[in-house]
């Protein structure tokens, strides 16, 4: 049997067209599979609801099962919409080639018209003043087409009607009409402010879509869960180019903060523990002019291969804890260049503080039920010495890196030298299993990473910037319970990146998302950086000042 290679075209253009067609067909197959999975989840949810209506609620487990099925449907519907749009873009690339692939469109149930009680706001798109064919001005109005978009303003809802008047030319008998307005999503029905609210509620305020749908229904605007998920999937794909530009900005930093946190992920009959990895660029402590930003990535586990892949092209200073998975990043001979480890003094101080927590000891004595822990004089002394370093840092926060280095060489270096000598002397007197000895070993084994800040003013004493960026995820876990899938984790990481970066730049994430979603469909790709939070903020300020 032949291998089929004789059937391949010889010229490069034909091969390129065949490759595009193959990719488009693959994207269409994937979109069809995603649509089938979403349909199966929808039917399962319908069956469970019918069983509950027929037999009545049997237990709390039934309600939890419905919640789980709704979240699964949310993730699958969102993924199906992403895959559908990806397939459409892939098919469009084959339009001018020798092989044309028909795009795939999902079958959606007909959407109910917007409630009649919602006020309508007519935005009339001016009609043409002259015939597009002959240039004649003898036009007569034939009628108009109305496109309704559901939009939200604080505490009220409305439907915006985009009216496009039609005119016919008396001389040429040609109908003229303004083009339809752009939507973020093809065949979209939701306005940008409404989409921004849904995204911010879900990823910024940690409110799952099923709870949002319930609230909207109480407000007189019934929107189904699958319909909301459809919009989230489309918006995520539309915002992906902006995430890529943010990622490039963050990973171009001279110094990077890194950390991770757990995130429950739905699995068969249980939840497994995934990870959200965060990388933060914040140059403010050493007077840098670059705007701050954060990017997040999701992974199913905490294997070291994940941060190694995230930072494969990065070189510079990396501030993080002593997680072993970072070890290979610091190896010499990396293709992208060296990464210098800068250890976190807050992590080092924490075990000492636990052993010398006077306030906790006093609370135990006051309550009387719990035996107070024994205060370690060595731990207390270590905390005192480390706190002296942090006191110096407070005085030089925001100064130039040259100034910070000079102050550290003058004031901090002697304290660090004394701390090392004292710890090595005391460590020799302690047994291997002693808690204070373990805390000392954590620092002494990484002493070069802990003291690197003395010679480089860009380095911070702590990794608090990364921990602050991840705080919202940790606080929201009890609200959204778990991610519905691995792709749901990837979507969450993307949206967290955009929302946290907006907050870091003192911008209202919802207002920024609303304006970006309003403009991104027709925004030139080569000017995409204008929509990044810090550039957007400067543009808004200039407009306000001009007004």
- Rounded to an integer, the average pLDDT of 448-461 is 95
Name the domain boundary from 163, 184, 205. Answer: 184
Q: Which residues contact 474 (CB under 8 A, 6 or more apart)?
A: 261
For residue 529 the two structure tokens come to: 């950086």
Q: What is the reported pLDDT for 422?
A: 96
pLDDT number for residue 61: 47
Q: Are strands 139-153 and 156-169 parallel, antiparallel or unpaired?
A: antiparallel
Residue 60 has a pLDDT of 42
The total domain count for the chain is: 3
Report pLDDT digits (tens) over 29-64.
Answer: 888 788 788 878 777 777 777 666 655 544 444 555
Asked if the model's pLDDT at residue 546 lies above 80, the reply is no
pLDDT band, residue 1 (cuts 50/70/90)? very low
Domain identity same for 284 and 350? yes
Same domain? For 144 and 283 the reply is no
Residue 223 included in any domain: no
pLDDT at 334: 87
The contacts of residue 195 (CB under 8 Å, 6+ apart) are 184, 231, 235, 513, 514, 517
Q: Give percent of the chain above pLDDT 70.
A: 86
Residue-wise pLDDT for 65-90, tens only, equals: 666 677 777 777 788 888 888 888 88
Could you give the 3-state DSSP secondary structure of residue 114? coil
Rounded CA separation 16/94 (Å): 10
Q: Does the structure show a pLDDT above 80 at 105?
A: no
Q: Are 439 and 376 found together in one domain?
A: yes
For 56, left (φ over 0), alpha (ψ -120 to 50), or beta?
left
Supply the pLDDT for residue 535: 94
Residue 338 contacts residue 315 (beta carbons within 8 Å): yes
Alpha helices in 129-180 (DSSP H): none
Has residue 233 been placed in a domain?
A: no
Query: Domain for residue 493, yes or no?
Result: no
Confidence tier at 360 by pLDDT (50, 70, 90): low
Q: For residue 437, give the H/E element and its range.
A: helix 435-444
What is the helix, strand, coil percentage profile of the chain, to 5? Answer: 55, 15, 30
State the pLDDT at residue 13: 77
Q: Does 303 score more than 70 pLDDT?
A: yes
Residue ending a domain, among 169, 184, 199, is 184
Residue span of the structural domain in which 341 resides: 251-470
Average pLDDT, the chain: 85
454 — pLDDT class (breaks 50, 70, 90) = very high
Predicted confidence at residue 53, as pLDDT, reads: 61
CA distances from 503 to 59, 247, 470 (A): 42, 16, 12
User: Which pLDDT score is estimated for 58?
Assistant: 44
Any domain includes 388: yes
Q: Are residues 178 and 301 in the same domain?
A: no
Q: Which of 427, 453, 470 is the last residue of a domain?
A: 470
Same domain, 406 and 268: yes
d(CA 472, CA 479): 11
Task: Render pLDDT for 129-176 as a digit per residue (tens, 0 to 9).
Answer: 888 888 888 888 888 898 888 888 767 899 999 899 999 998 888 889
Q: Considering only 2-6, 216-220, 240-244, 401-405, which range has the smallest mean pLDDT?
A: 2-6
């Amino acid at each position: 049997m032949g291998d089929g290679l004789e059937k391949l075209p010889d010229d490069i253009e034909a091969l390129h067209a065949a490759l595009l067609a193959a990719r488009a067909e693959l994207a269409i197959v994937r979109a069809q599979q995603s649509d089938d999975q979403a349909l199966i989840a929808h039917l399962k949810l319908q069956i469970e609801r019918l069983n509950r209506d027929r037999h009545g609620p049997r237990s709390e487990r039934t309600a939890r099962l419905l919640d789980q099925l709704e979240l699964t449907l949310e993730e699958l519907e969102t993924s199906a919409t992403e895959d559908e749009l990806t397939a459409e873009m892939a098919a469009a690339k084959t339009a001018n080639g020798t092989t044309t692939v028909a795009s795939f469109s999902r079958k959606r149930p007909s959407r109910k018209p917007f409630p009649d009680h919602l006020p309508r706001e007519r935005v009339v798109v001016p009609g043409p003043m002259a015939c597009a064919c002959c240039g004649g001005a003898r036009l007569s109005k034939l009628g108009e087409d109305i496109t309704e978009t559901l939009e939200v303003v604080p505490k009220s809802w409305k439907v915006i009607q985009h009216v496009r008047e039609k005119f016919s030319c008396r001389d040429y008998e040609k109908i003229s009409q303004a083009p339809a307005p752009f939507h973020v999503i093809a065949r979209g029905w939701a306005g940008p402010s409404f989409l921004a609210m849904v995204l911010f509620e879900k990823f910024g305020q940690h409110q799952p879509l099923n709870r949002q749908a319930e609230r909207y229904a109480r407000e007189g605007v019934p929107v189904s869960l699958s319909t909301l998920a459809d919009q989230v999937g489309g918006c995520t794909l539309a915002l992906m180019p902006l995430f890529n530009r943010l990622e490039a900005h963050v990973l171009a930093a001279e110094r990077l903060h890194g950390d991770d946190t757990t995130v429950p992920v739905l699995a068969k009959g249980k939840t497994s523990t995934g990870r959200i990895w965060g990388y933060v660029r914040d140059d403010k402590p050493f007077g840098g002019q670059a705007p701050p930003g954060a990017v997040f990535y999701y992974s199913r586990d905490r294997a070291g291969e994940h941060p190694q892949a995230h930072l494969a092209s990065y070189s510079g200073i990396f501030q993080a804890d002593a997680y072993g998975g970072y070890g290979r990043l610091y190896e010499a001979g990396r293709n992208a260049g060296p990464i210098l480890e800068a250890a976190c003094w807050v992590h080092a101080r924490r075990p000492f503080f636990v052993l010398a927590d006077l306030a906790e000891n006093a609370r135990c004595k006051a309550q009387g039920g719990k035996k107070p822990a024994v205060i370690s004089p060595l731990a207390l002394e270590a905390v005192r010495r480390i706190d002296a370093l942090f006191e110096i840092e407070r005085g030089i926060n925001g100064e130039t890196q040259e100034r910070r280095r000079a102050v550290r060489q003058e004031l901090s270096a002697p304290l660090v030298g004394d701390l090392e000598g004292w710890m090595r002397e005391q460590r020799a007197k302690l047994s291997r299993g002693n808690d204070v000895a373990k805390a000392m070993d954590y620092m002494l084994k990484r002493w070069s990473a802990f003291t690197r800040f003395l010679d480089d003013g860009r380095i911070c004493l702590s990794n608090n910037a990364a921990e602050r960026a991840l705080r919202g995820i940790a606080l929201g876990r009890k609200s959204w319970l778990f991610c519905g899938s691995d792709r749901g984790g990837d979507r969450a990481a993307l949206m967290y990146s955009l929302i946290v970066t907006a907050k870091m730049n003192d911008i209202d994430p919802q207002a920024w998302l609303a304006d970006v979603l309003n403009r991104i469909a027709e925004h030139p790709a080569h000017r995409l950086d204008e929509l990044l939070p810090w550039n957007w903020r400067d543009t808004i300020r200039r407009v306000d000042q001009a007004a």
